[in-house]
Structure 1
Amino acid sequence: MSNPETSRGGHLTVVVAALTYRRPGDLSELLPDLVAQRSASQDDVRILIVDNDPAAGAREQIASFGEGVEYVHAAEPGIAAARNVALDAAGDADLLVFIDDDERPVSRWLARLVATWREHGSTAVVGPVISSFEVEPGDWIRAGGFFTRRRLPTGSPVTIAATNNLLLDMQEIRRMGLRFDVRFGLTGGSDTLFSRELIAQGGTMIWCDEAIVTDVVPASRATRDWVVRRAFRSGNSWMRTSLAVQPTAVGRLTTRLSLAARGLGRVVAGGGLVVIGAATRRIGWHAKGMKAVARGAGLLAGAFGSVYAEYKRA
């Protein structure tokens, strides 16, 4: 747990980090929002853009922004390496807050995250992500709930989180020695593993339902192919992170067999839904069945050592 005196009050140093990779349009929309969050805060807030483009493509854009936004180059490919650069660049800051470059925070987003951390003294605070669409997805995608994310009452404990809306108590993170595993840099899942390790070491994560960010979904992601591939990757990453948190060979074998059986069950049950949905023309059953099949197949693939690199680069 955090120092009670610090978590209840006092002037804080806060770093808000946005990781980016060749998205100048998204950055131009996000940066004014982050500056507004900093202006509304009573704490000492730094804005940090971590550029994971080997060519440092965002350097000039950030330099020309002229609003005290800091730039750091994370040349090593992979989002895990970029997240580690953000950890290092945060220095001795009290808090580090992650947001994605294709997200937009609501008013007082940062203040609400910090207030929840002050109240609960947790190791991390997690906020909701809702989707907005460049092109409205079809009925099949909506019926399958592919973009539906969790919502919980503020103050609820959570045990897993992504870094798309996450506050970290850096004193606790430094004490635990937590880093993002670069083996997951091009596959996704390093944030899942990070949060699972945080909990395994006795840390706590608390939900703040008012600290909303909106995920701007491009047309290329509002397709059947993309959402099914994402479900497969989700299953694949869950298997890999579940194995990574097991400290013994016996534990890894047990986990591999258990999750493989669960994956097979998802494939069988989901396949049944697909067939029934197609026969009865119920798109919800068909879509949810395909989602289950893809996630189950990802678990099975991971059990046999197959790795799906969603973020691989040419």
Structure 2
Amino acid sequence: MDERNTTRIDIGVCTYRRASLDEALLSLAVLSVPENVDLRIIVADNDKVPSARERVEALRATIPHEIAYVHCPASNISIARNACLEAATGDFLAFIDDDEDASEDWISELLATALATKADAVLGPVRSVYSSTAPDWMRHGDFHSTLPVWVGGEIRTGYTCNVLLRLGSPHVAGRRFNLALGRTGGEDTEFFSEMHGAGGTIAYAENAYVYEPVTENRADLVWLAKRRFRFGQTHGRLLLEKSTGARRLQQIGLAGAKAAFCYAAALACIVIPVTRYRYGLRGVMHSGVVSGLLGIREIRQYGTAEAA
């Protein structure tokens, strides 16, 4: 904090050829900002050409916060996330995706939790917004929303679609996203897992909502299955880095058994769509864990037309 006891928060928005960037930035324009808090927005354009520059310039007059535009070409999401970390000058750095809209109290809720818990990172919930054309089972089961996973009463990893990082923390300062995972995804899981493993703490602000419309191409079982499989691959790769020999074989067997159980449960619940797909997708995730433990390369997620 500076001499005026002002808390400075940067908000990183990584973007790649998305028109929804306008909506995301406009939602930041109407945030409820706590007293003695200054906000600055960092837009990291990950396209080979600076395609988002004109869009950002057109919105400057509408948005009451300073906007820093950074062109970081390569279609590699880790490069864009690292560009936000390097451009950040505040006490905290928040991340929100370019296809999400922040709730009015989003940053206030994240900051309040960070100050109350002294955590190194604070996650918030991502609530999916389905169109009327999405399958009934998908809307009723809410398969796209993002929430933290609790293990033994704590959060051991995180995500970048709704998070606040304490930049002065020794567990955050100098830490960067893995460039090798910038096209497959999983860079955020690794970032937070390693941060936690080094002694960092992760808290949860349950009312710090952001909203993510589920586009037509994502309201699809195949898209969900690919995403769950990649989640599993990332988890399996992280396990692989910490295990060898008999321990690795044991983990492969356990993940395989979990996958088999989930597929069997999905078959048993074949007449109950939400339960069937929930078990089936969980089985796909555990299959991804087996893949990761076997060292199979993770499927590519970023820098493609589908991802855009």
The alignment's TM-score, normalised by the length of structure 1, stands at 0.85
SS of the residue aligned with 2:302?
Answer: coil
- Shift in Å, 1:235: 0.8
- In structure 1, the partner of 2:67 is 69
Change (3 A) 1:128 1:255: farther
User: How many residue pairs are counted as aligned between the two chains?
Assistant: 296
Deviation at 1:119, TM superposition (A): 1.5
Q: Is it true that 1:205 corresponds to 2:197 in the alignment? A: no
Deviation digits for residues 171-201 of structure 1, max 9, x if unmatched? 1157653111111111111111111111111
Q: Who is 1:127 aligned against?
A: 124
Post-superposition offset of 1:72: 0.5
| 3-state SS of paired residue (2:17) | coil
Match of 1:11 in 2: 6
The residue type equivalent to 1:243 in the other structure is L
Q: Tell me, in whole angstroms, the C-alpha distance in 1 between the residues paired with 2:35 and 2:43.
A: 19
Q: Partners in 2 of 1:252 and 1:166 — Cα distance? A: 33
- What is the match of residue 187 of structure 1? 184
Indicate if the aligned counterparts of 1:15 and 1:96 stay in contact, CA closer than 8 A: yes
SS in 2 for 1:172: coil
Contact residue 12 and residue 94 of structure 2 kept, 8 A: yes
What residue is the counterpart of 1:294 in the other structure? Answer: 284
Q: Secondary structure at the match of 1:69?
A: strand
Of 218-227 and 129-138, more deviation after overlay is shown by: 129-138
Superposed displacement of residue 265, structure 1: 1.1
Letter in 2 for 1:212: Y
SS at 2:169's partner residue?
helix
Q: How far did residue 310 of structure 1 move?
A: 2.1
Report whether the alignment pairs 1:309 with 2:300: yes
Question: Are residues 1:97 and 2:91 paired?
Answer: no
> Unpaired runs of 5+ in structure 2?
none
In structure 2, distance between residues paired with 1:112 and 1:220: 31
Deviations 1:133-185 (A, max 9, x none): 234431343566522543799xx852211011110010115765311111111
Per-residue deviation, 1:255:
5.8
Q: Structure 2 matches for 1:27-66, cutoff 5 A?
A: 27-37=21-31, 42-66=36-60
C-alpha distance in structure 2 between counterparts of 1:142 and 1:220, whole Å: 15
Matched, 1:223 2:189: no
1:137 aligned onto 2:134: yes
Percent identical residues = 29
Runs of 4+ in 1 over 4 A off after TM superposition: 38-41, 142-145, 173-176, 252-255
Matches within 5 A, 1:264-275: 264-275=256-267
Take 1:169 and 1:238, find their aligned partners in 2: how far apart are those partners? 25
Please list the CA deviations of residues 75-99 of structure 1 after superposition, one character each: whole Å capped at 9, or x if unmatched: 13211111111100103x2110000
More helix by share: 1
1:260 maps to 2:257: no
| 1:311 maps to amino acid | Y
Where do 5+ consecutive residues of structure 1 fail to align? 1-5
SS of the counterpart of 1:134? coil
In the alignment, structure 1 residue 21 sits paired with structure 2 residue 16: yes
Bigger CA drift: 10-19 or 64-73? 64-73
Counterpart residue number, 2:143: 146
Contact 2:9 2:91 in 1 (8 A): yes
SS in 2 for 1:188: coil
Question: How high is the TM-score relative to the length of structure 2?
Answer: 0.87
* 121-130 or 288-297: bigger deviation: 288-297
1:3 counterpart residue number: none
Counterparts in 2 of 1:31 and 1:255: CA distance versus 1, 3 Å: farther
Contact 1:266-1:295 at 8 Å conserved across structures: no
| Separation of aligned partners in 1, 2:234 and 2:172 | 26
What's 1:116 paired with? 113
AA aligned to 1:275 is: L
User: Structure 1, residues 273-294: CA drift from partner, whole Å, max 9, x if none?
Assistant: 233234xx23234313321321
Deviations 1:227-269 (A, max 9, x none): 111111111111123334x3xxxx3456643432232112211
Provide the C-alpha distance between the structure 2 equivalents of 1:302 and 1:287, rounded to a whole number of angstroms.
22
With 35-44 and 194-203 compared, the bigger mean Cα shift is at 35-44
**Mapped partners of 1:70, 1:176: distance in 2:** 20
